[in-house]
Amino acid sequence: MTPIVAEPANRTPAPISNHTPPFPNRIPVLIVGGGPVGLTLAALLARYGVPSLVAEADEGYCTGSRAICISRRSQEILGWIGADVPLVRKGLPWVGGRSYFRDTEVLHFTMPSEPGERFAPMLNIQQYFIEQYAHQAALTHQPAADIRWNARVASVRPERDGVEVVVDTPTGRHAVQADWVVACDGGRSTVRDQLGLELKGTEYDGRYVIVDIRQPTERAVERLAWFDPPSNPGSTILMHRQPENVWRIDYQIRADEDPVEAVKPQNVLPRVQSHLSMIGEDAPWEPLWISMYNAKCLTLDTYRHGRVFFSGDAAHLVPIFGVRGLNSGLDDAGNLAWKLARVITGRAPEQLLDSYTVERRHAALENMAYGAKSTEFMAPPNFAYQLMREATLRLAANDPTVRSLINPRQTTPIAYLGSPLNQPEPKAPWANGLAAPGSTAPDAQLPGGRHLTSHFGADFVCLAFGYHEPRGVDQLRSRGITPLAISPDSAEAWRRYGLGHGMDEAMVLVRPDGYVMGRWHGRDGDAVAAAFDQSGVGR
């Protein structure tokens, strides 16, 4: 993609081990691709005690400007591997943004957020830091993940009970027998090519230039968007602050501009300077990165092909607008890790793995529908969308009823409607559907300050809302389900899980990836255990 203007100065190179053990001949899980999704998956598997080998073609962490906005849900997932601590320490949290038409503010939006919450709705950070933190997490468990840089997959040959993968490394060519392969090797996936698979869907013509610059600023951390700004008439410009005084700037180029010319510094830097001057950012600055982007809605038909899985950009490409790329990739890793670990350790039948495609492809299609909407506003595909956008922007300054159309539709967790793992709802109603099966289990602060979601991400948890010890606790524990009593003192949790004030008792079964699998009125752990046994997640 990419002329690099200057290497990000503070980028941490991948650590080089002094002692590299021999390349393994056999491995339970081979992860192709050591980007943020592959490394997070490796760390999650390590936490479950499942050995994995990560083969990354590059020599270290990514360079340049890639994913930068990490959702609350992704922060939770990174929390499962302990990467949330450095992430939050380094990243810049934010809760909303502003959009301008020419020089007039036409939208000020905020995402749901409240004091005391565990994570901000969104956090900005360079992708190479995420890779670094996930990598470190993958090395802290035993058996630690075996991560090989400069390891380029040459061929992938599916077999009946595994996959033979040939990897080229600086020490030569190695053949590895993997029981399972997970392709996390991005939009130009080698594994996908090797299996003769193609992404299908739509590409948009509208092109955006991506520019990172270093410039100190005191400006609040927000998503900033300008439509037709005086600094660059006719263009659309997005700005995000990143750590270490880096601005990420995205701007749309005209349909008649040559993409090759458009990324040349002599064409980029004056536009950036013009805009910085317009918004009063006058400190000296230097360019770090320039590349080009166009929106895509592409996906594989299925994310499991025998013993090969696809995750992240290797499985689906979603538009940049609404920040669903890496965020959906991390959810892929979170979904697959516990299922694969249960099957590999003999605690669940292999059929559990089929639910990965059902759930994550549904999520990809939802993400594409939202992403397409965002793209149609940010890069109008024809005169009709252009005309309607202009009408919206002209009205929005005075007419609040149309402002929601400008909202960037930022990523939110996708409910797994229709998942085969969802347990039937009881006839008696709930006060709300926030914790319906297939939804992400709502967070709430518990007495003492700990957050509910901090209990998720390892194994099954059964939330027992009630006044007394639930029945059948031993039945739960024997299945590896951790009961967690939620007393009526946790009024916020009771409310969010759809329980009337001080009246009901209930059991809510939460999957290792923080999704609700089922909920039952009363406090009968035996009923939960029976449903668990029938569901195909255990044996």
Residues lying near another protein in the complex (CB under 8 A) are found at: 101-102, 228, 233-234, 373, 376, 382-388, 390, 392, 394-395, 397-399, 401-402, 404-405, 407
Q: Closest separation between CB of residue 149 and another protein, Å?
A: 44
- Please identify, using beta-carbon distances, which residue of 234 and 447 lies nearer to another protein: 234
Q: Closest separation between CB of residue 376 and another protein, Å?
A: 7
Q: Is the peptide bond before 143 cis (omega within 30 degrees of 0)?
A: yes
| Contact present, 152 and 164 (Cβ < 8 Å) | no
Tokens of 443: 């967070």
CA torsion, ordered 510, 513, 516, 517, to nearest 10 deg = -80
- Please identify, using beta-carbon distances, which residue of 128 and 227 lies nearer to another protein: 227
- Please identify, using beta-carbon distances, which residue of 55 and 379 lies nearer to another protein: 379
- Please identify, using beta-carbon distances, which residue of 248 and 409 lies nearer to another protein: 409
CA dist 485 and 253 (Å) reads: 55
Q: Closest separation between CB of residue 271 and another protein, Å?
A: 17
- Please identify, using beta-carbon distances, which residue of 234 and 349 lies nearer to another protein: 234
| Contact present, 514 and 457 (Cβ < 8 Å) | yes
Q: Closest separation between CB of residue 255 and another protein, Å?
A: 11
How many CB atoms lie under 10 A from the CB of residue 61? 25
Radius of gyration of the chain (CA): 24
Q: Closest separation between CB of residue 385 and another protein, Å?
A: 5
- For CA atoms 401, 403, 404, 405, give the dihedral sign: positive
Q: Closest separation between CB of residue 513 and another protein, Å?
A: 27
DSSP 316-366: EE--TTTT-HHHHHHHHHHHHHHHHHHHHTTSS-GGGGHHHHHHHHHHHHH
- Please identify, using beta-carbon distances, which residue of 138 and 393 lies nearer to another protein: 393
State the pairing for strand pair 304-305/308-310: antiparallel
How many CB atoms lie under 10 A from the CB of residue 174? 18
- Counting DSSP H helices and E strands in the chain, the numbers are 13, 23
**C-alpha triplet 485, 487, 490: angle, nearest 5°:** 115
State the pairing for strand pair 286-299/246-252: unpaired
Q: Closest separation between CB of residue 468 and another protein, Å?
A: 41
Q: Closest separation between CB of residue 392 and another protein, Å?
A: 8
- Please identify, using beta-carbon distances, which residue of 274 and 404 lies nearer to another protein: 404
Eight-class DSSP state of 170: T
- Please identify, using beta-carbon distances, which residue of 90 and 394 lies nearer to another protein: 394
Q: Closest separation between CB of residue 390 and another protein, Å?
A: 6
- Please identify, using beta-carbon distances, which residue of 18 and 401 lies nearer to another protein: 401
List CB contacts of 315: < 8 A, sequence separation 6 or more: 183, 299, 300, 303, 332, 360, 361, 364
